[in-house]
């Protein structure tokens, strides 16, 4: 899987092309075996049709299963960014409401923290950069929590408790988003999908070889459709590959909200 993952990292289109070629090879092998069996006249066509139909039905089930898994992972990442950005915004507003020097320091640190979290989501495949951003996140969390602890000790009241809860939720959301960004398609499910694809194309070729009929256009169209679906599944399931990337827009909106500050109007 590492080899295929390397190809996918370079180009998701190249991975799709390789998969399409592999299906064509499997299909031609199936056609060759089917024609050889036809020459021997040892295979009943009715039984072959039932088996091929069952394999295609199972293939459809596996595609649906993996597509559902990939879409769920993509939704988790997208929802996670929104939840974390909202949590950061809530913590920032509460820090601004407290208004003490330490609370203002917390608000400033949260503004830096938001930029770091946005960079983490859009970091791509650069492992060194991802590790550096995780370390920076941990350092900011430690500093922010130090200020929160000082506020709670100096002013043990519901206001400081509310700020502490908001900061705690912010840190929890970052952990959840990190897990979502690390979750990928399990290798067993990936190889099951690839194996079922190759076996299904080979079985279709075998049946066509037995019948002595060639449907190259329809076969290529079927393989192309399978390839597109599989590439989309891989794209959805991989957090840092392809075109279905998690957007950092919620963080950018939160940063825009910071620019307005908090203006306390005069008492009526």
Average pLDDT, the chain: 86
| pTM (two decimals) | 0.81
Residue 41: the pLDDT is: 63
* 25-41 mean pLDDT: 82
* Distance (Å, whole) CA 262 – CA 266: 13
* Distance (Å, whole) CA 107 – CA 99: 9
* Distance (Å, whole) CA 193 – CA 191: 5
* Distance (Å, whole) CA 127 – CA 9: 13
Read off the pLDDT of residues 41-53 as tens digits, 9 standing for 90 and up. Answer: 655 566 777 888 8
130 Cβ contact list (under 8 Å, min separation 6): 120, 123
181 Cβ contact list (under 8 Å, min separation 6): 77, 120, 121, 239, 240, 246
Read off the pLDDT of residues 131-155 as tens digits, 9 standing for 90 and up. Answer: 999 999 999 999 999 999 999 998 8
Token pair, residue 195, equals 């194996």
Highest mean pLDDT among 69-73, 107-111, 123-127: 107-111
């Amino acid at each position: 899987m590492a080899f295929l993952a390397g190809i996918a990292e370079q180009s998701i289109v190249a991975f799709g092309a390789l998969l399409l070629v592999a299906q064509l090879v499997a299909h031609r092998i199936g056609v060759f075996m089917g024609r050889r069996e036809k020459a021997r006249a040892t295979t009943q066509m009715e039984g072959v049709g039932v088996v091929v139909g069952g394999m295609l039905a199972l293939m459809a089930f596996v595609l649906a299963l993996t597509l559902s898994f990939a879409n769920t992972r993509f939704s988790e990442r997208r929802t996670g960014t929104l939840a974390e950005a909202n949590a950061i915004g809530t913590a920032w507003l509460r820090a601004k409401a407290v208004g003490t020097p330490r609370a203002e320091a917390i608000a400033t640190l949260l503004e830096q923290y938001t930029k770091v979290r946005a960079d983490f989501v859009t970091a791509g495949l650069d492992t060194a950069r991802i590790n550096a951003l995780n370390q920076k996140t941990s350092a900011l969390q430690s500093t922010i929590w130090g200020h929160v602890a000082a506020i709670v000790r100096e002013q043990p009241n519901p206001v400081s408790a509310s700020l502490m809860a908001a900061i705690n939720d912010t840190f929890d959301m970052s952990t959840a988003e990190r897990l979502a960004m690390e979750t990928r398609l399990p290798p067993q499910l990936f190889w099951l999908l690839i194996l079922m694809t190759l076996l299904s194309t080979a079985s279709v070729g075998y049946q066509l070889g037995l019948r002595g009929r060639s449907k190259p256009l329809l076969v290529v169209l079927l393989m192309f459709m399978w390839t597109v679906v599989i590439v989309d599944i891989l794209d959805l399931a991989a957090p840092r590959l392809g075109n279905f990337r998690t957007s950092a827009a919620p963080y950018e909106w939160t940063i825009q909200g910071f620019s307005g500050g908090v203006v306390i109007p005069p008492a009526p």
